[in-house]
Amino acid sequence: MSFPLPNHELYALEDRVQAALRSADDSALDVLGYGEVTLVLKLTTSQGSYACKRLPVFPTADRYERYKHTLTDYLDRLERSGIRAAHTRLWQRKAADGRIVAYCVQEALPADRLCSRLLHTEPQSWAVDFFKRFLDHVDRAVTPSFGLDAQAANWIDQDGELTYLDVTTPLLRDARGREQLDVPLFLTSLPWVLRDAVRLTMSKSIFDKFYSTRGVLLDFLGNLHKERLDALIPAFLELANARLREPITAEQVSAYYRGDARMWELIQQLRKADRFWHRSVLRRPYPFLLPPDIAR
Ligand SMILES: Nc1ncnc2c1ncn2[C@@H]1O[C@H](COP(=O)(O)OP(=O)(O)OP(=O)(O)O)[C@@H](O)[C@H]1O
Ligand SMILES: [Mg+2]
C-alpha cells in the first residue's frame, strides 16, 4: 500500500464520471473493465498509470470507515496466504451532503498479461502450468472465512508469478459465517425491484461458492464457457479433480455456467429497465454506468 495517490487527477476523474452519469455516455472515460459490480477506469498521469475502481457511493462516513477496515483485513489475509495482490490504496472524496465517493486505486499492470487473455494466446503447456500454480494458490488460501473470486480475468501473470486484482469485494466471514462486507451497499447497483429479494434469498448463495475450493474451481471452470475457452475444460477438470474429495463433472460445469449466465443476463435486463425508468420517467440521472451486453 505504498505508492503516492494522484490526488488532483482523481478529482478530475471523478468529475468526468459525474458528467458521464449525467449524460449516460461513458465515451470520455478509459474503461479497463466492467465487472458485475464495479467500474474499472484507467487513469494515465505523468507519474504513471492507475486502475481506478469506483465503489458504490457510501451514504455515511461510518460505512466508508467500516469498508476501509474490511479491505485492509482482506489485503492482510491475502498476503498471509501467500497470494500477491496488486498494491491497492483507497481514495475518497466527501460530497456536500456527507456521502462519500471512493475508489480502490491500483497501479495499472500490463493488460496483455491478464490470464483470461493469455489462456487464448499461449499454448496449452502454458495453460496447464498456469492452472497448476492457480490450484496451489486456491487450495492453500480458501477457507470458510476467507474467500476468493478467482476467475481468470482476476489474475495477472508476470515472470511466472500470479498477482490477484479483484480486491474491491473483500470476501471475509466471521466465525458465525456472516459476511464482513456491507453486502446491501454492494448490491445497490442492482435494480430496486430486485434488491430486497436478492438481499434476502440470493446473496448468501452468490457468495457461498467463493468460500470453498470446490466452489471457486466450479466458478472458474464455468467462466471458461463465457470466455469461449471450453477446449481447456477437460484438461483442467482432471487437474482440479486430483485435489478434490468430491470431483466436479463436465456436466456440473455447464449447468453451473448456464445458471450463472441466466442470472446475470436477467440482472442486466432489469438494470436497463431501471435506467430507462430513472432517465425517461423520473428524469433523473441513473447513478451507474452499465457494461455493454456480453455474449453469453
Ligand atoms: N491493476 C490493474 N491493472 C490492469 N488492469 C486491471 C487492474 N485491475 C483490474 N483490471 C482490469 O479490469 C478488470 C476488472 O477488474 P476487477 O476484477 O478488479 O473488478 P470487477 O471484476 O469489476 O469486480 P467485481 O466483479 O467484483 O465487480 C480486470 O479483469 C482487468 O481486465
Ligand atoms: Mg473481476
For 39-86, the pLDDT digits (tens) are 799 999 999 999 999 998 999 999 999 999 999 999 999 999 999 999
pLDDT value at residue 78: 98
- Whole-model pTM: value is 0.90
User: To which residue does cell 491497492 refer?
Assistant: 88
Is the pLDDT assigned to residue 250 strictly greater than 60?
yes
Q: 226 or 234, which is more confident?
A: 234
Give the CATH architecture of domain 14-107: 2-Layer Sandwich (3.30)
Ion ligand 2, residues whose Cβ is below 5 A away: 35, 154, 166
DSSP character at residue 279: I
pLDDT value at residue 158: 96
Q: Which ligand does the CA of 289 lie closest to?
A: 1
State the amino acid at position 271 in one-letter form: R
Residue 236 has a CB neighbour count (10 Å cut-off) of 24
DSSP string, 168-180: SS--BB-TT--BS
Cβ–ligand 1 contact at 206 (below 6 Å): no
pLDDT-derived band at 194 (thresholds 50, 70, 90) equals low
Which residue has the CA at smallest separation from atom 13 of ligand 1?
Answer: 33
Cβ–ligand 1 contact at 154 (below 6 Å): yes
Cβ–ligand 1 contact at 170 (below 6 Å): no
Cβ–ligand 1 contact at 189 (below 6 Å): no
> Which alpha helices (H) appear in the chain, and where do they start and end?
7-23, 61-80, 115-121, 124-141, 183-186, 192-197, 203-208, 213-226, 233-241, 250-276
Give the C-alpha separation, 268 to 295, whole Å: 12
pLDDT value at residue 281: 74
pLDDT value at residue 10: 97
**How far is residue 56 CA from its own chain's centroid?**
13
Is the pLDDT assigned to residue 13 strictly greater than 70?
yes
Q: Mapping DSSP to helix (H, G, I), strand (E, B) and coil, where does residue 49 land?
A: strand
Mean pLDDT of the chain: 89
Using alpha carbons only, what angle is made at residue 59 by residues 53 and 64, rounded to the nearest 5 degrees? Answer: 55
Cα Rg, the chain, nearest whole Å: 19
Is the pLDDT assigned to residue 160 strictly greater than 90?
yes
pLDDT-derived band at 21 (thresholds 50, 70, 90) equals confident
Cβ–ligand 1 contact at 71 (below 6 Å): no
Give the domain ranges of the chain.
14-107, 111-282
